[in-house]
Every structure is written in C-alpha cells, then in structure tokens.
Chains A and B, each alone.
Chain A
Amino acid sequence: MNIEAVLLWIRGPGLGLALGIFLFGMAIKLLEIFLLGRKKNLAAVRSSGVAAGFRTILSRSLPPDGNILRRPRFTFIFGYAFHIGLFVVMFFLAPHIEVSHALLGLSWPALPTPVVDVFTIISIIAMMALLWHRLTSPLLKYLTTPQDYLVWALTFAPLLSGYMAYHHLLLPYTWLLSIHIGSVELLLILFPFTKLTHAFTLFIARWYTGMMAGQKGVQS
C-alpha cells in the first residue's frame, strides 16, 4: 500500500469513522451528564439565575479583574496564548474552512496565511511552555495524571504536523498531510472519552455555577 492510498483512506472512510465515533461519544457523554439530573432549589431565590449563568459562561473566558498578568502568570499567559492560537488556526486557516465547506456547506472568510502562521507558532510555543511547566512545577507535577500528557500530545500533534505540512517541512507533503489528518482523527476518536471534553462541558459547568450563585445574588 502506498502513501497516496493511505491518504485517500484517511481523507475518506477514516474521517467518516472518526467523526462518527466523536459524535456518538459526545452524545453518550452529554447523556451521562444530563441523565443524572439535579434537585430543584426550594429556597426563595433572589433571581432566576439565568442571566447570571450566561454572564458566567462569558466572564470565565476573560481573566479575573480583566488582568491577564495576574498570578499565577505562567498559567494565565500561556494558557490564553495556546487557546487563542489554536482557535484562530482551527477556524481561520483557509484549508480548514474548505473542509467545513465540503462537509457542512458552511464557509466564512479566512485570515491571511502569515497571520495564521503567527498564531500557530504562538500556540506551539505556548503548548511547549505549558508542558515544561507541568513537568517542573511542584504543584502541577503533583496534580498531573498520565491522561494530562495524553491530551497534550493529542492536541500538539495536529498543530505541529499541520504547520509542517503547510510549509512542506522535513517530510514529503503527502506524508505530512496523512499524519496531520490522521492525528486529527485520533484526537476526534479519543475526545469524548478524555478530559478534552472540557471544550464543551465547561459551558455546562459555568452555567450551573453561575446560575446557582446568581440565585443567591452573587455574580460568580
């Protein structure tokens, strides 16, 4: 089997399979969460908490007090750099929008490649910094589980291989593209069964925290 055939499989049935597992897994994940249910609050509330819940969903994306340089600085600076960078690359690189157009029929304007490149490099550097932090900080070393390294690798692989493929670095393009798409598929497959789910479940978490605090009259 040659590499062209591999790429063809990865772009075709492989992608379908990965997307299928991702969607099915996420459906199960959400059912697991929502089927547990929650007791109704019988205390006389100060507000319904709905507005507070939505505000918390937004506000926890911003640094506390609007200060990105707050402590622990390392986590804040590189945490934001990585997430923002990843977001820009995922959604504003022209080939990614083409994939979306082909799969869903949805497209939007792309950012110029040099701009996306800058974000990619920022994201790659930030991820390496965060890994270094995890490996050296006594606090993070204590908290870190093998899964934390796994999800780091699952996220880093598409980022690096995508950058290399786009710029034709080191390996033949077909190889790099196969590795890139393959690593994305691996990410999709393992996504619902690892803490990568936080990308979705954090909205549920923020909602409940914000809503419950809002009912007591506190903007969380």
Chain B
Amino acid sequence: MSKATLERGINALKEQIDTPTAAFFSSCVNCGLCAHACLFYTETCDPAKTPIHKLEPMRRLWEQEYTLTGRIRKWLGLGKPITDDELEQWSELAYQNCTLCGRCSMVCPVGNDITYMIRKLREGLSAAGHAPDGLIGATTRAVKLGSPMGVTLKALEAQAKHVKEDSGLDIPFDVEGTEYMVLLSSMEIINYPEYLQAIAKIFDQAKKTWTISSEAFEATNSGIQIGTSDIAAELVQRVVDAAEKLKVQTVISPECGHAYMAIRWEGPNLIGRPFTFRVQHILEVLDELREQGLLQVEGVEDGRLTFHDPCQLVRRGGVIEQPRNLMRLVVDNFVEMKDHGKMNWCCGAGGGVSAIEEAEEVRLKAFNRKKKQLSKLHVDGLVTACANCRIQIEEGLEENDMDMPVIGLTEILANHLVEKETGGGSSA
C-alpha cells in the first residue's frame, strides 16, 4: 500500500461516487428507519450508529463536489471541508459498527442501498490511513502469506492428512481438468477441519472430480473488508489464475459469507473481466447434487434446529432457498427465526468486524439480537454456513451461558450420507 494521506483518501472516495450514490444521497430524508434495521443501533440505542449517519463524510464530499448548491457553498467558503480527524472518527462507525450485512438497504423507504455506500466509504478511509489495525494485519498477511490468519499450505496439508487417516479419502491437490476447484477459509482450516472431510465424503459419494490448488486455496478476501480494491483484485486474481491453470469448470466458495461475495459478485468487477469458469457457493453445489439425486442421505437429526443465514450468502448473495432445501433433507424439526432469509439479523461479526480487536465489546453487544431471536425459538441447536458467523455465535452463546451446539450445514449433511459398503447411516 502506498502512503496513506487525507488527499489520497478523498480522491479514492471521489472515485467511488457514482450515479446510484448520488441518487441515494439525494433521496435520504433522515427518517431514521435504517437505524431500526441495524443491530448496532438496536442493541446500543446510540444514534451515531444509524446506518446513513455512518456515511456523513461521504455525503458531504458528494454535496461539495457533485452538486450545484454544494459547489457554490464551497466557492463562497461556506462548505465544511472533510478533515483527517473526522475520517478517523468515522472509521470506528464504518468498520467496527457495520458488518456490511445489508439489512438497512432492505428497509429504506426511498430505496437507498446504504451498505453499497459503506463498502465504498471504506475505500476512502483505508486510502486515508484510517483502516483498523486488525484489518491491516489481516490484509498484509493475506498478501504476503496467502491467508489473513497466516495459515500456510503446510497447515492445510496436515489437515488433509488427518482426513485421509480418518476417512481413507484422499484430498486431491493440483489435479488438472476436474469439475470443481474447492476454496477454503483459513477459519475452516484451523477451527473447522470437519468441513474438508465433509466435502471429501460428499464428492466421493457423488463421484465428482475435484481439486484444491496449492497456489490459491484461500477463499476469504481481506482486501474487500478493508476497502482496498487493488489488493482485493490481487487476491481474486490468484484464484482466477489457479482455476484457469487447472482448467476447472466451477470454483466452489466455502462456508463463508463474504468469501462468496468477494469471488462471486465482486471478483469479475475487481479484475475487470468476466470469469471463464463458474463460481458457486458450496450450498448451491450441494443443492444441485440433491436435485440430481447425487446426494444420498439417510436418517434425520433428533432435535429442533434452526438455520442462521449468513448475510453475504443470503441477503447480499442470493443463495436463499438452497440452505432450506438442504436443511429439510436431514432435519425433521426445522424451525425458522422470525426474521430469516433475506431479512435475517446478522451475527454481529461479519464484514471484517471479527478481525478488529477494538470491536470485541460492540460485537458481543450486537450478538444480543441473535440471542433474543434464539431464546424465542427454543431450539436444540443452530446450523449455519459460514465459519465466521459460527465462531461469533459460539462465542456469543458461551458469553451468555447458552448451551447449544453450532454446526455447519455441509458437515451435518455429510454425517447423514448413505454409507457405501455397510448401507448404515450415522447420526450426529
């Protein structure tokens, strides 16, 4: 990253302002409805956390640079210039108090996509040198080591070895011409290696060819969370190069919300060209296998279970029905939270928040929203499809003395696969 200055920040922010942004700012009447859609406001009642207010420096820059009245005011010396201190102050609102969950964008009566703009504001803040240290660290590790958590190929190979010992299945590395290329998140490699074993079992049963690239296995993209498009593009490019080198048909984004957003929706726009391969979330792949009768499961879960929608996968990613189809496959007593699907409440740790140390307190406060949802539901367990949501929910539940298992959807499906030789199933 070149040297961050206020001037760079303002220029980066100016570049972000486009037609939708101008239409959005022209339409806001300060009605405050977005606040009620934001868990950072509802759980703190701090009006500064109103989503549209998190954009105030950007709104003023738009007004001063791209409107007639704003320009006249600026020319007359009446405009209040954007200062470095101000951006520093707003950094806390835009990074620590926003998970880019997109719920505000669903309720705004004038139809503003506020989240779209906060993603843009982060470009300016990071160029001005006001990104949080935690995200700068993660991004630096992602660029240098290939993983925001510093997870190396060696660590992945060790997990692959465990899978082999456990299940007898090989994890194929760098195989050319396979149907699928699997990406993983560092969080999964370290905390939830069950995922790797689960897909190995599922693809083995479905007789699908797949591989992992030793050059690009990391799915997460810190460049997007921090708001530095050139870094985000570099991280996407690694995956694109690997997928094209291995000539795979489909790249699979793992159980991680923002990783899907990054590669599926932002990816081609970041590198400036459409992909030559398909990108699917693992749940899209599994639901396709289900439709084709290639996902043979048996037995059902005993308890009452619910599904937590990862925001970037569902509301901002469009994978809404697939998790429900898959849940019903192995869960008899599947119940939905009152606000679910595209109106779900965020776990409180997405969009980079979990990587910011200073955000720990507010992140756990924000979790109270999920806690309230879960208390009403009286469930025995929660299923989700994002390692980041999962770790936040586990931590939140522990903090609130709520004893409830949290499990990944892919993993739960793998637990119910019809066993090849014996024909006997297992239950989780």
Q: Which of A's residues lie within 8 Å of B, judged by CB?
A: 28-29, 32-34, 36-39, 41-44, 46, 56-57, 60, 64, 71-72, 75, 79, 137-145, 148, 151, 193, 195, 197-198, 201-202, 204-210, 212-213, 216-220
Contact = CB atoms under 8 A, between A and B. Distances in A.
B110 A218 contact: no
B19 interface: yes
A44 B265 CA distance: 8
Contacts of B105: 209, 213, 220
11 contacts: A28-B68, A64-B106, A138-B45, A139-B35, A142-B50, A195-B27, A198-B29, A201-B23, A204-B19, A205-B20, A208-B111
Contacts of A207: 111
Contact of B267 (A32, A34, A43, A151): A43
B111 A212 contact: no
B274 A36 contact: no
Interface in B124-168: none
A212 B113 contact: yes
A137 B319 CA distance: 38
A205 B27 contact: yes
Contacts of B420: none
B173 to A, nearest CB: 27
A44 B268 contact: yes
Contacts of B320: 217-218
Nearest to A196: B29
A33 B63 CA distance: 11
A42 B240 CA distance: 14
B318 A145 contact: no
Given A60-B108, A142-B48, A204 B23 contact: yes
B112 A209 contact: yes
B268 A43 contact: yes
Contacts of A144: 30
A217 B319 CA distance: 8
A148 B22 contact: no
B23 A205 contact: yes
A44 B275 contact: yes
B67 interface: yes
Contacts of B319: 217
Interface string B6-35: 000000000001111111101111111101
Given A39-B269, A43-B265, A71-B36, 8 more contacts: A42-B273, A139-B50, A140-B32, A142-B48, A142-B50, A195-B28, A205-B108, A205-B110
Nearest to A42: B268
B19 A33 contact: yes
B47 interface: yes
Which residue, of A143, A193, A219, has the highest number of chain B Cβ atoms within 10 A? A143
Contacts of B36: 71-72
B416 interface: no
Contact of A205 (B24, B267, B278): B24
A33 to B, nearest CB: 4
A205 B105 CA distance: 11
Contacts of A32: 22, 66-68
B299 interface: no
Contacts of A56: 111
Nearest to B67: A32
Contacts of A212: 20, 113, 116
B87 to A, nearest CB: 20
B272 interface: yes
B270 to A, nearest CB: 9
B342 interface: yes
Nearest to A59: B111
Nearest to A64: B107
A139 B268 CA distance: 39
Given A42-B272, A208-B20, A209-B111, A138 B47 contact: yes
Contacts of B106: 64, 220
Contacts of B41: 139
A216 B111 contact: no
Contacts of B258: none
